[in-house]
């Protein structure tokens, strides 16, 4: 249970720091510290599934599965089954609050040998909040939540390349609409739409080895606002690049090494004086296209700070007989840009058409709100490529 006054409700909404209000810390809903580049709806960049979650959040270029809807929709074109569905669940930031969670439902349908349709639903539950006014009067409880709905289309171009296009609707509700901030603005739910483009390339080489490259640009869309007449805020536009290499060790064993990098495509806030004047950096009150291009060179600290804005995810996977998988990885985010650093591990078991995956996040109990994060994924697949209709 979290407590929140009407007076600071707007701060709660606009800074997207509901966990900070609860725990007297500076943790955003994504698990980063408050020095991360600020955006609205950071839940969109939380890794949802257990497979990549066990590989240090590396998933852009690993072998395709239905959760490519999040990592790289272009990979959907290379799925081996006609239909795949998966449900993932994770209790989130449970070291700080007991009732926050992320759920992710993902589906893919192979239209023909070249084209695949994908859809997903992401739901972020922020638990219950006890609302009180400035006089500590109980105003009841409220359960804020956020969700997004995606639709993706992926198409093969030859046997090694595919491209994907994604459309997304985002809903973010931190207020029941009955409360008015100190400025007199009516709080409301935020709504936005965004698009994404993705690419996947995989090429066999040598003796039973495959090299893959992936790229995914997501959340390019309208800004989001939580007040009737107030300012609007950037979505967490994001660039993911990744490579992976898989070796067939013998008739039963495969080993994969993956490496992803991740960068937000939003402006870095400038350094301002006490009067609000910019003394270093660039104005971040710009349009979405301008913010994307500026994100590569607007850091107040120059190139060295731009490099700090890139997160790294190395991961490995060992697969035995396509039935049992063991995984591990590491995620690194610079301390000046969010500070998330953790190791991950997990496993996967396949039985008939079903697949169960589990991941566990290893981090300092004292320093990381993400320590001991668990993810669970249950997936099922139906039909094979031989049954897919051809056009």
pLDDT for 162 beyond 90: yes
Alpha helices in the chain (DSSP H): 9-14, 18-23, 50-53, 68-71, 288-294, 303-308
Residue 119 lies in a domain: yes
pLDDT tens for each residue of 221-277: 999 988 877 788 999 999 999 999 999 999 999 999 999 999 999 999 999 888 888
pLDDT at 154: 98
- Find the mean pLDDT for residues 110-132: 89
pLDDT at 214: 98
pLDDT at 132: 66
Q: pLDDT exceeding 70 applies to what percent of the chain?
A: 85
Residue 294 lies in a domain: no
pLDDT at 53: 96
Range with lowest mean pLDDT among 13-22, 132-141, 194-203, 230-239: 13-22
**CA–CA gap between residue 342 and residue 326 (Å, rounded):** 18
pLDDT for 379 beyond 80: yes
Residue 293 lies in a domain: no
User: What's the total number of domains in the chain?
Assistant: 1
Q: pLDDT higher for 6 or 241?
A: 241
Q: Decide: 203 and 175 in contact? Cβ < 8 Å.
A: no
Q: pLDDT higher for 31 or 215?
A: 215
**CA–CA gap between residue 244 and residue 60 (Å, rounded):** 9
- Find the mean pLDDT for residues 295-300: 91
Q: pLDDT higher for 20 or 314?
A: 314
pLDDT at 44: 94
- Find the mean pLDDT for residues 167-189: 72
Residue 11 lies in a domain: yes
pLDDT at 3: 44
Average pLDDT of the residues of the chain: 86
**Domain encompassing residue 52:** 2-268+309-387
**CA–CA gap between residue 265 and residue 220 (Å, rounded):** 9
pLDDT at 277: 87
- Find the mean pLDDT for residues 215-223: 95
Residue 290 lies in a domain: no
Q: What's the CATH code of the domain at 258?
A: 2.40.160.40
Q: pLDDT higher for 182 or 362?
A: 362
pLDDT at 283: 87
Residue 96 lies in a domain: yes
CB atoms within 10 A of CB 290: 15
| pTM of this structure | 0.88
Closest CA relative to residue 123, chosen from 60, 53, 171, 67: 171
Residue 105 lies in a domain: yes
pLDDT tens for each residue of 49-87: 999 999 999 999 999 999 999 999 999 999 999 999 999
Judged by DSSP in three states, 371 sits in: coil
- Find the mean pLDDT for residues 90-94: 89
Residue 298 lies in a domain: no
pLDDT for 188 beyond 50: yes
pLDDT at 223: 92
**CA–CA gap between residue 391 and residue 205 (Å, rounded):** 29
What the block records as the tokens of 206 is 């040598």
């Amino acid at each position: 249970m979290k407590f929140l006054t009407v007076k600071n409700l707007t701060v709660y909404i606009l800074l997207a720091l509901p966990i900070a209000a609860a725990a007297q810390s500076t943790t955003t809903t994504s698990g980063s510290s408050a020095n991360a580049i600020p955006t609205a709806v950071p839940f969109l960049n939380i890794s949802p599934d257990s497979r990549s979650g066990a590989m240090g959040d590396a998933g852009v270029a690993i072998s395709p599965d239905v959760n490519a809807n999040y990592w790289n929709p272009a990979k959907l074109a290379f799925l081996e089954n006609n239909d795949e569905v998966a449900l993932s669940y994770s209790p989130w930031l449970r070291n700080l609050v007991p009732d926050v969670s992320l759920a992710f439902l993902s589906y893919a349908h192979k239209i023909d040998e070249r084209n695949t349709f994908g859809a997903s639903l992401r739901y972020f539950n922020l638990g219950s909040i006890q609302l009180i006014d400035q006089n500590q009067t109980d105003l009841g409880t409220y359960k804020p939540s956020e969700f997004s709905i995606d639709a993706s289309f992926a198409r093969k171009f030859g046997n090694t390349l595919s491209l994907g296009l994604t459309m997304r609707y985002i809903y973010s509700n931190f207020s029941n609409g009955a409360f008015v901030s100190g400025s007199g603005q009516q709080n409301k739910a935020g709504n936005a739409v965004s698009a994404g483009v993705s690419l996947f390339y995989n090429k066999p080489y040598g003796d039973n080895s495959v090299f893959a490259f992936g790229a995914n640009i997501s959340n390019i869309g309208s800004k989001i606002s939580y007040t009737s007449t107030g300012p609007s805020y950037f979505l967490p536009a994001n660039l993911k690049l990744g490579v992976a290499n898989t070796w067939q060790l013998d008739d039963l064993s495969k080993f994969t090494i993956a490496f992803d990098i991740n960068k937000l495509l939003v402006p870095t806030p400038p350094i301002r004086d006490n009067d609000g004047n910019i003394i270093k950096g660039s104005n971040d009150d710009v349009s979405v296209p301008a913010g994307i291009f500026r994100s590569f060179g607007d850091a107040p600290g120059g190139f060295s700070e731009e490099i700090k804005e890139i997160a790294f995810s190395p991961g490995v996977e060992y697969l035995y007989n396509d039935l049992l998988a063991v995984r591990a990885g590491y995620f690194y985010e610079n301390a000046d840009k969010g500070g998330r650093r953790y190791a991950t591990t997990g496993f996967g078991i396949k039985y008939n058409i079903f697949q169960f995956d589990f991941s566990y996040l290893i981090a300092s109990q004292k320093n990381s709100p993400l320590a001991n994060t668990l993810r669970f994924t249950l997936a099922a697949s139906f039909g094979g490529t031989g049954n897919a209709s051809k056009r």
